[in-house]
Structure 1
Amino acid sequence: MRSLLTRALAVTATALAVGAGLAAPAVHAADASYKVLVFSKTAAFRHDSIPAGIQAVRTLGAANNFTVTATEDAAAFTTTNLAQYQAVVFMSTTGDVLNATQQAAFESYIRAGGGYVGVHSASDTEYAWPWYGKLVGAYFKQHPAQQNALLKVEDPNHPSTQGLPAQFTRFDEWYDFQTNPRGAVHVLTSVDNSSYSGSTMGNDHPITWCQKYDGGRSWYTGLGHTIESYSEPNFLHLLLGGIMTAAGAVTADCSVAATGRIPQAQLRVRSCDSQELSGENAPCTNVLDGNAGTFWHTQWSGANPTPPHEIQLDLGASYSVTNLYYLPRQSGTNGRIARYEVYVSTDGTTWGTAVATGTFPNVSTERTVTFTGKSGRYVRLRALSEVNGNPWTSVAELNVGGTTTLH
């Protein structure tokens, strides 16, 4: 296999050939050929750069030992069909492009070790599918007018950025995101917001990143709005490295050193039971919505009188879990009515003994439960009845702390 520097020069030659409409030189970056699916269905805005993007991936594939199938037919998202591809490229998709069955097939594909590449408005896709949002890393928020901006390489050793200038100016449509993904993803490039106008991201603006997610590999870039991007050597170098690493054709470090609170956007509610009072707002996902006015509520009366009640969180990766942070919901004189237990599990089935116990206080300030670190991906909070009265409790927000390197 050629060195990364040799490959970088070869990618640049390929990019120039694409721009000139010439046949690209053959550069076999992987020992065995593999298949890539390019999916470009749109249900909202449609970018006129999509055909150029598809053709660029085809040309890169011909030069780098992978074959490309392009489709806008969501029926391609079946377990059997996806299994033949090492990576799936969402080429400027928008809106709701997959139904529930197709979404389930894609989740299974990623969990089986598949690769995802998101280009530009792939982050403007499937807002009602939280799993997809975490796979991408962040959802699109807004963009100012297209203009030049300074792009900075943060990891010069990743195959998609190795050999690129440390910083360079380029023209694009610069996306802002609803959340800053840093801390949950491995940032590869960022934008200098002082170099252009109209951003709402502040001083920290990641624009290209990678991660290992739910058993698979993910690489995303917010670049690629313009047709000209797909004949630009630096952008094609970036895109090729993203495809190759997502496919597993070359190795790449997409780890994220995480210490302290796990980013709330990374967490998901795995399961829970929530006994809801009439008129109360108690869906289980409220504990992850960032809103102290909504909550997870348990009550031992009415249709579900038997304690305990519980909620389980999936942390997205294995951590040495050391803290639980929770915000109780104060409820007048009826507050401190239930005890709790905290458990940590590697598989979500075997829980062992509680790592912490305590009593929910009648306060509206965050409480921190600290315990000896225990390795696991799943955390369970059980609300236990007191011996007297009609016990219940409400928790407005949950978070977990620990230390890991996400791989």
Structure 2
Amino acid sequence: MHPHTSPHPRPGSGPASGTRSRRAARLAAAGATLLLALTALPAAASGAAASGAADDDRVLVFSKTAGFRHDSIPDGIAAIKELGARSGFAVDATEDGAAFTPGNLARYDAVVFLSTTGDVLDTAQQSAFERYVRAGGGYVGVHAAADTEYDWPFYEGLAGAYFQSHPAIQRATVNVEDRGNPATAHLAPTWERTDEWYNYRTNPRERVRVLATLDESSYQGGAMGEDHPISWCQEYRGGRAFYTGFGHTKESYADPAFRQHLLGGIRYATGAVQADCRPEQGYRPLFDGTSTDGWKQAGPGSFTLDTASGTLTSTGGMGMLWYDARELRSYSLKLDWKMAGDDNSGVFVGFPASDDPWSAVNNGYEVQIDATDTPDHTTGSVYGFQSADLAKRDAALNPPGEWNTYEIRVQGERLRIWLNGVKINDFTNRDPARSLLQGYVGIQNHGEGDEVSFRDIRVKDLPAKGGGHHQHHHDG
């Protein structure tokens, strides 16, 4: 945005809250170093730096079976080892529950339960794994990981749901709900694939962030109805958990789309990449990737719609694409965004209808997107008014080239910002010339060379005053 006279930014209010994975501090520092180096690196070099994982990350693949044994397990182990070699994490594989000791588990950033079945850990081993997760360890469950440890309530919560039944292997349509997550960001809104499709004993949606569901009308034998989750993620008891129902067939592990899905889940679980894995229900799309109906360009420049990827990408400026179909009052706005490099954009809220983008600047507030600038002018700030909590912001932020998710929650004159599920800013308007009580929302195209993409812009109406009981579990 442009500089203008404003109050001094409020500095960050303390260290990141909650238990982080054992690599979080190092990864945050590496991300900060990367951002500082961006302007000095050629684009290709900066992209390579952004995509690499830290070289001392380590993942344990556990594939012990006490029931049915999948013949795809060796393919799965080989695939994860190949993904690790390419992405910068070491992989050990075992079928021995004796590996689940506090000292040994502490070596790993995540443990992958690869089509485990039945009772695979004794009481002491279960206790060690619970302590590992509570200390920030990661869990990845693949396919029959849901057919495992039926008498262990902690594991049921971690996996998200238990297996109930499955029909024959067949082709089905997968609906991808969350394309801001590293496990699904590469996918189209629908994904046709062949696998063995599990029905689960319970629907985990109220407790997890559902990433993908099955269209039961596209195959025979679905038993969960219109809402049939098949992949999800969550923060659980201090750790991170990712589950995918895919992966029964050997062919899955040779499929580039599935391999990227699995890699994204592993990277989330290890803490190498951030994502908003809080439960989400009740949002309606403002931009679903298919058209800009309801949106209007104000000022110069534009946004380019790519229906294949479902994205809007900024071009030229300085202008703004705003949603003129409805004025909002009390709401949660969510959207996914990605920078190409050290770019500039933002999300405007609380401004009156106008074809002049400067009206939004002068009458509303901008939630900034910018890799490198002063604290009150950089990512997560209320532009020119209040810096994000920088420690929390840096720990939650994915680097250029990766998707990030904002939640911008407006209730009364209070504006709160979550980045990848972490609350990084809490601002209250006290400027009599501005008001958040009602207004429109828009996304900025800042100028030539500032390339920022957006997708899956969605909104949920909220009570006028914050802190309602049904909201509190999302307010972390």
Query: TM-score normalised to the size of structure 1?
Result: 0.58
CA-CA distance at 1:32 after TM superposition: 4.1
CA-CA distance at 1:403 after TM superposition: 2.9
> CA separation in 1, counterparts of 2:56 and 2:252?
26
The one-letter amino acid of 2:255's match is E
Equivalent pair of 1:256/1:406 in contact (CA under 8 Å): no
Answering whether residue 139 of structure 2 is matched by residue 116 of structure 1, we say yes
> Cα–Cα, structure 1 residues 100 and 232, in superposed 2: closer, same or farther, change >3 Å?
same
Alignment of 1:332-371 (within 5 A): none
> CA separation in 2, counterparts of 1:30 and 1:72?
26
The residue number in structure 1 matching 2:472 is 403
SS in 2 for 1:256: coil
CA-CA distance at 1:33 after TM superposition: 3.0
Equivalent pair of 1:258/1:403 in contact (CA under 8 Å): no
Answering whether residue 140 of structure 2 is matched by residue 140 of structure 1, we say no
SS in 2 for 1:151: strand
Deviations 1:96-120 (A, max 9, x none): 0000000000000000000000000
> CA separation in 1, counterparts of 2:158 and 2:219?
28
Answering whether residue 141 of structure 2 is matched by residue 126 of structure 1, we say no
Answering whether residue 164 of structure 2 is matched by residue 154 of structure 1, we say no
Deviations 1:199-248 (A, max 9, x none): 11001111000000000000000110000000001110100000000000
The one-letter amino acid of 1:149's match is A
Match of 2:95 among 72, 86, 90: 72
Equivalent pair of 1:94/1:122 in contact (CA under 8 Å): yes
CA-CA distance at 1:168 after TM superposition: 1.8
> CA separation in 1, counterparts of 2:475 and 2:208?
9
SS in 2 for 1:46: coil
The residue number in structure 2 matching 1:168 is 191
> Cα–Cα, structure 1 residues 125 and 147, in superposed 2: closer, same or farther, change >3 Å?
same
Deviations 1:227-277 (A, max 9, x none): 000000111010000000000011111112479xxxxxxxxxxxxxxxxxx
Deviations 1:50-107 (A, max 9, x none): 0000000000000000000000000000001000100000000000000000000000
CA-CA distance at 1:149 after TM superposition: 0.1
Alignment of 1:26-105 (within 5 A): 29-105=52-128
Equivalent pair of 1:185/1:256 in contact (CA under 8 Å): yes
SS in 2 for 1:122: helix
Answering whether residue 215 of structure 2 is matched by residue 192 of structure 1, we say yes
Equivalent pair of 2:110/2:140 in contact (CA under 8 Å): yes
Equivalent pair of 1:87/1:247 in contact (CA under 8 Å): yes
The residue number in structure 1 matching 2:256 is 233
Alignment of 1:381-396 (within 5 A): none
> CA separation in 1, counterparts of 2:85 and 2:475?
33
The count of residues paired between Structure 1 and Structure 2 equals 250
SS in 1 for 2:108: coil
Equivalent pair of 1:28/1:65 in contact (CA under 8 Å): no
> CA separation in 2, counterparts of 1:171 and 1:258?
28
CA-CA distance at 1:404 after TM superposition: 2.2
Alignment of 1:260-271 (within 5 A): none
Match of 2:239 among 216, 236, 239: 216
> CA separation in 1, counterparts of 2:243 and 2:182?
14
SS in 2 for 1:51: helix
> CA separation in 2, counterparts of 1:253 and 1:180?
19
SS in 2 for 1:161: coil
Match of 2:278 among 239, 244, 255: 255
The residue number in structure 1 matching 2:10 is none
Higher relative contact order (CA 8 A, sep 6+): 2
CA-CA distance at 1:28 after TM superposition: 5.1
Deviations 1:345-371 (A, max 9, x none): xxxxxxxxxxxxxxxxxxxxxxxxxxx
| Gaps in structure 1 of 5+ consecutive residues | 4-24, 260-372, 376-399
Equivalent pair of 1:82/1:106 in contact (CA under 8 Å): yes
> Cα–Cα, structure 1 residues 406 and 191, in superposed 2: closer, same or farther, change >3 Å?
farther
Equivalent pair of 2:84/2:91 in contact (CA under 8 Å): yes
The one-letter amino acid of 1:404's match is H
> CA separation in 2, counterparts of 1:27 and 1:57?
21
> CA separation in 2, counterparts of 1:240 and 1:401?
34
Equivalent pair of 1:150/1:168 in contact (CA under 8 Å): yes
CA-CA distance at 1:29 after TM superposition: 2.7
The one-letter amino acid of 2:195's match is D
The one-letter amino acid of 1:68's match is V
The residue number in structure 1 matching 2:401 is none
> CA separation in 1, counterparts of 2:106 and 2:100?
10
- Bigger Cα displacement from structure 2, 28-37 vs 150-159: 28-37
Query: TM-score normalised to the size of structure 2?
Result: 0.50
Answering whether residue 202 of structure 2 is matched by residue 179 of structure 1, we say yes
Equivalent pair of 2:233/2:277 in contact (CA under 8 Å): yes
Percent of aligned pairs with the same amino acid: 57
SS in 2 for 1:123: helix
> CA separation in 1, counterparts of 2:475 and 2:94?
32
Answering whether residue 265 of structure 2 is matched by residue 206 of structure 1, we say no
Equivalent pair of 1:120/1:224 in contact (CA under 8 Å): yes
SS in 2 for 1:403: helix
Q: Which has the larger radius of gyration?
A: 1
> Cα–Cα, structure 1 residues 216 and 93, in superposed 2: closer, same or farther, change >3 Å?
same
The residue number in structure 1 matching 2:307 is none
Deviations 1:6-39 (A, max 9, x none): xxxxxxxxxxxxxxxxxxx999532443000000
> Cα–Cα, structure 1 residues 231 and 26, in superposed 2: closer, same or farther, change >3 Å?
farther
SS in 1 for 2:472: strand
